[in-house]
């Protein structure tokens, strides 16, 4: 997400940082480039106009032109305006108070509500909640089936009703079920509807009056660009939305909807969908997202993902084995699986300062099957070969290549790279012996 915008803004930022002095003409030229970058990213023209005007006003008001490292100061102003455009601070769903709290998901057909409902319930469960998914799309049997299947896959409770039941009756029965089972959050998947359909919008009015939801969340497809902003405005005028979830952000390289919708509607973005996996729902932290757009990385989110997905004890054992030169291809495969659980490699690299430039190539390698080939090669080895790769001679390499659907050259490349890594580790290990043992991880 934001791929094209990030590339443009990072190039502008690099140029600004490289200038020892900055004239007003230089500033105007940079702001022109920023304006074009935002417009090409499909950011709403009113948002672009206000964005550029505020950066210019603040730059001149702070006497940036005559300051130390003026380019860095302008980049900081751009960062601050990106944060403001994204809402300024994290919007957490307000679920305290009455139990069960109701999260009412609304939106157009095809916006991704059903999948998002499952993702949101999974996220709330990981945060310590006891969610109950509610299939309240009574017009589309496939939606009920889809939500049931997603719930089963993620081990989430799903409430469904018999055919012909009205949505408001489903909601009331689901609330009773939540009280009976101890669920503290109802995540309601409603039918897709057009904001100009009075009858369907009236159903949402009835649901809202009956349930008094803690959060009324519009799920909107980010890939529709400016149309997403218009849809959000129309729904908000009718329902008084409390939050937004933008789906398919991983497929929107421009990101204009995310940078426009908060400013135009005043409704905060709570989450963005960043993939098809059940855990691919990312909380929006405006400051972190602005840093990512400008290529500054997002270490905090990276650490949070690692804490959720990586087995700490296994990681420590692997680190010890690595530094003691006992790290094997079996250990490497285990670590590869743990990293993959954190998300696509390209996304992870974007969270590392300076890693954005490598993200595209890494993502291409992943999509091109490079990581799968490495896994297949290691899986085709015997346990003893994974532990002692030096025993893998010509005949074994041919067998491994045939078993993994790769070539002998692919097998040779992996073994050579692994051997080079072991040499470097042995050198580091020798240095460590002189400097004492490795420090323990915090909290151990």
- pLDDT tens string, the chain, 444 residues long: the values are 677 788 888 888 888 777 777 788 888 888 999 999 889 888 888 889 999 999 888 888 776 655 556 777 788 888 888 898 888 889 999 998 788 999 999 999 888 999 999 999 999 999 999 999 999 988 888 889 999 999 999 999 999 988 778 989 999 999 999 999 999 999 999 998 887 788 888 888 889 888 899 999 999 998 888 888 888 988 998 888 999 999 988 776 577 888 888 888 899 999 999 888 898 898 988 888 888 777 765 555 655 665 665 566 665 665 666 555 567 888 777 777 766 666 666 666 565 555 555 455 555 555 556 778 888 899 999 989 988 888 999 999 999 999 999 999 989 988 888 887 777 666 655 655 444 444 444 443
Res 253: pLDDT: 56
Q: Are residues 11 and 116 in the same domain?
A: no
Which CATH number is 192's domain given? 3.40.50.300
Cα dihedral 408, 414, 420, 425, rounded to 10, equals: -150
Strand-pair partners of 177: none
Q: Are residues 151 and 266 in the same domain?
A: yes
Structural domain includes residue 95? no
Q: Are residues 54 and 125 in the same domain?
A: no
Q: Could you list the residue range(s) of the whole structural domain that residue 367 is in?
A: 302-435
Question: Distance between CA 25 and CA 23 in Å, rounded?
Answer: 5
Q: Are residues 277 and 314 in the same domain?
A: no
Structural domain includes residue 381? yes
Quote the crossing angle between the two packed helices 256-265 and 70-85, to the nearest 10°: 70
What are the helix (H) ranges across 266-369?
A: 286-293, 299-309, 312-323, 329-341, 345-350, 356-367
Structural domain includes residue 295? no
Query: CA-CA distances (angstroms) from residue 211 to 73, 171, 175, 204, 215?
Result: 49, 8, 9, 10, 11
Q: Are residues 327 and 377 in the same domain?
A: yes
Give how many domains the chain has, as a whole number: 3
Which CATH number is 340's domain given? 1.10.260.30
Give the number of other Cβ atoms within 10 Å of residue 251's Cβ. Answer: 13
Listed residues 238, 264, 287: the one ending a domain:
287
Question: Distance between CA 438 and CA 299 in Å, rounded?
Answer: 23
Q: Are residues 267 and 146 in the same domain?
A: yes
Structural domain includes residue 442? no
Structural domain includes residue 346? yes
Question: Distance between CA 321 and CA 317 in Å, rounded?
Answer: 6
Strand pairing of 158-159 and 269-273? Answer: unpaired
Q: Are residues 148 and 269 in the same domain?
A: yes
Structural domain includes residue 65? yes
Query: CA-CA distances (angstroms) from residue 367 to 273, 276, 356?
Result: 19, 14, 17
Listed residues 25, 53, 85: the one ending a domain:
85
Q: Are residues 161 and 229 in the same domain?
A: yes
What are the DSSP calls for 245-294, one per residue?
EEE-GGG-SS-HHHHHHHHHH-PPEEEEE-SSSTT-EEE--HHHHHHHHT
Q: Are residues 420 and 390 in the same domain?
A: yes
Query: CA-CA distances (angstroms) from residue 197 to 200, 201, 202, 224?
Result: 6, 6, 8, 20
Cα dihedral 313, 317, 320, 325, rounded to 10, equals: -160
Q: Are residues 121 and 264 in the same domain?
A: yes
Listed residues 224, 252, 287: the one ending a domain:
287
Q: Residue 399: CB partners within 8 Å, gap ≥ 6? A: 380
Res 188: pLDDT: 94
Structural domain includes residue 91? no
Q: Are residues 187 and 269 in the same domain?
A: yes
Res 105: pLDDT: 94
Q: Residue 277: CB partners within 8 Å, gap ≥ 6? A: 343
Which CATH number is 50's domain given? 1.20.120.140
Answer for the pair 156, 118: CB distance below 8 angstroms, yes or no: yes
Q: Are residues 322 and 379 in the same domain?
A: yes
Query: CA-CA distances (angstroms) from residue 79 to 73, 84, 288?
Result: 10, 9, 10
Question: Distance between CA 66 and CA 1 in Å, rounded?
Answer: 35
Structural domain includes residue 208? yes
């Amino acid at each position: 997400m934001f791929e094209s915008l990030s590339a443009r803004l990072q190039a502008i930022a690099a140029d600004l940082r490289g200038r020892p002095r900055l004239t007003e003409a230089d500033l105007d030229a940079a702001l022109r480039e920023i304006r074009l970058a935002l417009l090409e990213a499909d950011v709403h023209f009113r948002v672009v106009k206000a964005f550029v005007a505020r950066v210019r006003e603040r730059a001149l008001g702070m006497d940036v032109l005559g300051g130390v490292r003026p380019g860095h100061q302008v980049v900081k102003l751009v960062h601050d305006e990106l944060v403001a455009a994204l809402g300024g601070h994290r919007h957490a769903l307000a679920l305290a108070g009455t139990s069960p709290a109701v999260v009412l998901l609304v939106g157009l057909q095809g916006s991704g509500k059903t999948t998002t409902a499952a993702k949101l319930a999974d996220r709330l469960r990981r945060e310590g909640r006891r969610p109950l998914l509610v299939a309240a799309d009574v017009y589309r049997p496939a939606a009920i089936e889809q939500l049931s299947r997603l719930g089963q896959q993620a081990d989430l409770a799903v409430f469904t009703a018999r055919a012909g039941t009205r949505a408001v009756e489903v909601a009331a029965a689901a609330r009773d079920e939540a009280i009976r089972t101890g669920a503290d959050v109802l995540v309601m998947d409603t039918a897709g509807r057009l904001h100009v359909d009075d009858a369907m919008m009236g159903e949402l009015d009835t649901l809202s009056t009956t349930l008094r939801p803690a959060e009324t969340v519009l799920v909107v497809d980010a890939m529709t660009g400016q149309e997403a902003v218009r849809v959000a405005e129309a729904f908000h005028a009718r329902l008084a939305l409390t939050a937004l979830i933008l789906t398919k952000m991983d497929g929107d390289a421009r990101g204009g909807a995310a940078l426009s919708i908060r400013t135009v509607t005043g409704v905060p973005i709570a989450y963005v969908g960043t993939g098809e996996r059940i855990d691919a729902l990312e909380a929006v932290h405006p400051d972190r997202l602005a840093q990512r757009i400008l290529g500054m990385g997002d270490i905090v989110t990276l650490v949070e993902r690692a804490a959720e997905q990586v087995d700490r004890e296994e990681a420590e054992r692997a680190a010890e084995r690595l530094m003691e030169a006992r790290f094997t291809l079996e250990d490497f495969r285990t670590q590869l699986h743990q990293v993959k659980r954190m998300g696509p490699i390209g996304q992870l690299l974007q969270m590392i300062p300076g890693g954005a430039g490598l993200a595209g190539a890494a993502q291409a390698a992943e999509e091109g099957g490079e990581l799968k080939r490495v896994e297949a090669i290691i899986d085709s080895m015997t346990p003893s070969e994974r532990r002692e790769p030096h025993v893998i001679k010509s005949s074994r390499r041919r067998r491994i290549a045939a078993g993994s659907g790769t070539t002998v050259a692919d097998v040779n490349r992996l073994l050579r790279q692994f051997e080079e890594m072991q040499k470097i580790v042995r050198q580091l290990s020798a240095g460590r012996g002189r400097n004492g043992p490795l420090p323990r991880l915090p909290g151990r």
